[in-house]
Amino acid sequence: MVGRELAEFDFEPQGMSETEGGSERARPIPRISIQCFCEGAEVAEVLQFAAEDRRLTKAHVSIHMGGITAAVAHYQESPTPNLIVVESRLPRQDLVGELDRLAECCDAGTKVIVIGQTNDVLLYRELLKRGVSEYLIAPISPLQIMEGISNLYNDPDSDPVGHVYSFIGAKGGVGSSTICHNVAWTLSEALTSNVIIADLDLAFGTTGLDFNQDPVQGIAEALASPERLDEVLLDRLLTKCSEHLSIFAAPVVLDRDYDLSADSCDMVLDIARQNVPYVVVDLPHTWTAWTKRILVQSDEVVITAAPDLANLRNAKNIIDLLKSIRKNDTAPHLVINTMQMPKRPEISIKEFEQAIGIKALATIDFDSETFGQAANNGQMIEELNAKAKATAGFREIALALAHRREVRVDKKSPLASLAPFLEKIKIKR
């Protein structure tokens, strides 16, 4: 690590709100069919809320009333789906009896989640004995049910586990790519975790230039035939920039058309995050079906804006839209870039935040000398000058996205000599 000694720092998981913690645990759910049979409107509402979440967009969910009795009647006539969710308010013996009836009409391979009323160990054991996959106690939250389903269908050893962080500018040229690359680099250095930057600005992307690489222009090939993409091909299409950072670079030639499909972007990012813990997506400032899909599906979104009126309006529109679609996620993050540019009239940070309704995750000053030099050298800001003011901003953004907190270890403390080891233990999740 350039500049500050990594051993001075310790990274510990940040205190998470329930939403953040839950959304961390609930992973995207594959293309399965889920049929739910509820007894009350409360559980039906929660299931409906979950069904509309980004993590369930691939699954097919239907919600019916009538509880377990309706489920039994239904499956006597019809084949069972991949997953049945039943709510029951019956006492233990009756519930177990009804589940036995349900089991008789269940096809092999169908899983069952029961939502009950009581915290009853005997009931829990009976349910497990009967092959019920999960027992949840009402009232439940949308994230709890998503987490329950996600645990059944995501194998932590083989399925996608990496996080996707997307970066987009509120206008063109506001520094979104620069921030994206610096944050991705910081993430890879500070957490010593593997990171892929996916440059989706196929015609004009700057990732290769920013890292002083003459990269394999791999991302277009991957997007053209995503079904061919596997670990081996991915490896061939990536350009390694440092021990933990690789780039999926844009072709940056103009003799082709780049009409991307949202599905192929989805597939490519899925494969990428099966292979690394962090995929950082550098989006161009455009509004298409695929940019929108990536923003909606990402674990975290960072919107970079300059402090003027057009940026304010655009950032507000993007943030409001994403908030309304991503009800169970943290709000998109706002970064205000190029503050204090000489002679430029600016909207103050306070006014900007008030108008948008969220606090900026970081504000970065205009510093043409440092940013210009770093861009010319093909270096990250921290590599060029670890003391530059922007370095702290990038670190703050990186750690906030990864839900980590930086704790300074006192060099005089007896624990200081253990810092590198503690750090290794704590940053593993």
Ligand X SMILES: Nc1ncnc2c1ncn2[C@@H]1O[C@H](COP(=O)(O)OP(=O)(O)OP(=O)(O)O)[C@@H](O)[C@H]1O
Which option in Mg ion, ligand X, none does residue 375 bind, with CB closer than 5 to 8 A by kind? Answer: ligand X
Which option in Mg ion, ligand X, none does residue 215 bind, with CB closer than 5 to 8 A by kind? Answer: none
Regarding 148 and contact with ligand X (CB under 6 A), the answer is no
Regarding 385 and contact with Mg ion (CB under 5 A), the answer is no
Of residues 11 and 290, the one with the C-beta less far from Mg ion: 290
DSSP string, 137-176: ESS--HHHHHHHHHHHH--TTTS---EEEEEEESSTTSSH
Of residues 82 and 391, the one with the C-beta less far from ligand X: 391
Which residue stretch of 48-56, 73-81, 190-198, 201-209 sits at the interface with ligand X (rule: CB under 6 A)? 201-209
User: Least distance in Å: CB of 204 to ligand X?
Assistant: 6
Nearest to 375 by CA among 167, 181, 168, 166: 181
User: Which member of 338, 383, 391, 404 binds ligand X (CB under 6 A)?
Assistant: 338
User: Least distance in Å: CB of 170 to ligand X?
Assistant: 9
Site residues for ligand X, 340-379, by CB under 6 A, read 364, 366-368, 371, 375
Q: How far apart are CA 67 and CA 318, in angstroms?
A: 40
Site residues for ligand X, 161-200, by CB under 6 A, read 169, 172-178
Regarding 67 and contact with ligand X (CB under 6 A), the answer is no
3-class secondary structure for 334-395? Answer: EEEEEECCCCCCCCCHHHHHHHHCCCCCEEEECCHHHHHHHHHHCCCHHHHCCCCHHHHHHH
Q: Binding pattern to Mg ion, positions 269-308, x when CB under 5 A?
A: ----------------------------------------
Q: Are 332 and 302 in contact (CB under 8 A)?
A: yes
**In Å, what is the CA distance from 34 to each residue of 61, 131, 221?**
5, 17, 35
Name the closest residue to Mg ion (Cβ).
Answer: 177
Of residues 132 and 339, the one with the C-beta less far from ligand X: 339
Q: Binding pattern to Mg ion, positions 21-50, x when CB under 5 A?
A: ------------------------------
Regarding 285 and contact with ligand X (CB under 6 A), the answer is yes
**In Å, what is the CA distance from 37 to each residue of 61, 68, 78?**
11, 6, 14
Edge to edge, what strands does the sheet with 333-339 contain? 239-242, 245-248, 195-199, 278-282, 163-169, 300-305, 333-339, 362-365
Determine the size of the site formed for Mg ion (CB under 5 A): 1
Determine the size of the site formed for ligand X (CB under 6 A): 21
Which option in ligand X, Mg ion, none does residue 292 bind, with CB closer than 5 to 8 A by kind? Answer: none
Q: Residue 300: left if φ>0, alpha if ψ -120 to 50, beta else—which one?
A: beta
Site residues for Mg ion, 144-203, by CB under 5 A, read 177
Of residues 216 and 375, the one with the C-beta less far from ligand X: 375
**Over the range 70-94, which residues count as b (16 or more CB within 10 Å of their CB) and which as e?**
ebbebbeeeebbbbbbbbbbbeeee
- Reply yes or no: is the peptide bond before residue 414 cis, omega within 30 of 0: no
Footprint on this chain of Mg ion (rule: CB under 5 A): 177
Footprint on this chain of ligand X (rule: CB under 6 A): 169, 172-178, 201, 204, 206, 284-285, 337-338, 364, 366-368, 371, 375
